[in-house]
Amino acid sequence: MTNIEQRPPSFMEIVARQKIGDKAAEWQFFKWERIGDTNDFLVGLGETRKLLSGKNKGKGTWRGTDGRMLPHGNAVVTWEEMEAAKAKYEADTGNCSVCGNTGKSFASWSATDGTKYRNCERCNGAGKAPIAGVEAKT
């Protein structure tokens, strides 16, 4: 089974963190939803704590001991902002923004075969950004 070690970052999450600000650095993604028929998303990040008891002991939760949400924030992230974050990632790292330098993209999963991958279509399996001044190996 192929083990994918490097994945591209979540660009939606990157943009949301930038908008919510420094306090969101340690916060975890808890929701995203499309806004109407647009390509814009409402993204939520919030502080988490570990559950100390119960059947989910050790897992994280976004709720405090009183059941209320811990400090959290929402940000609207537009399609254009995600595209800009992808372009910046490719310019900064030289890696393909779809596969994150693995050259593979997810194809399917089943219990018998596990995860199957195929060559990433954006970079044709090279793992490198096809634009941003990066020379493709020939």
Q: Where along the sequence are the contacts to Zn ion (CB under 5 A)? A: 96, 98-99, 120, 122-123
- Name the nearest CA neighbour of 79 among 22, 24, 11, 7: 11
CA distances from 60 to 19, 46, 50, 137 (A): 23, 11, 4, 44
For the CB of residue 104, give the shortest distance to Zn ion in the complex, in Å: 8
Residue closer to Zn ion by CB (options 17, 104) is 104
What token pair was written down for 59?
A: 């897992």
Q: From the CB of 110, what's the least distance to Zn ion, in Å?
A: 23
Q: How far is the CB of 95 from Zn ion (least distance, A)?
A: 8
Query: Toward Zn ion, which CB reaches closer, 61 or 102?
Result: 102
Q: Which is nearer to Zn ion, 86 or 122 (CB)?
A: 122
Kindly give the pairing relationship between strand 49-50 and strand 60-61.
antiparallel
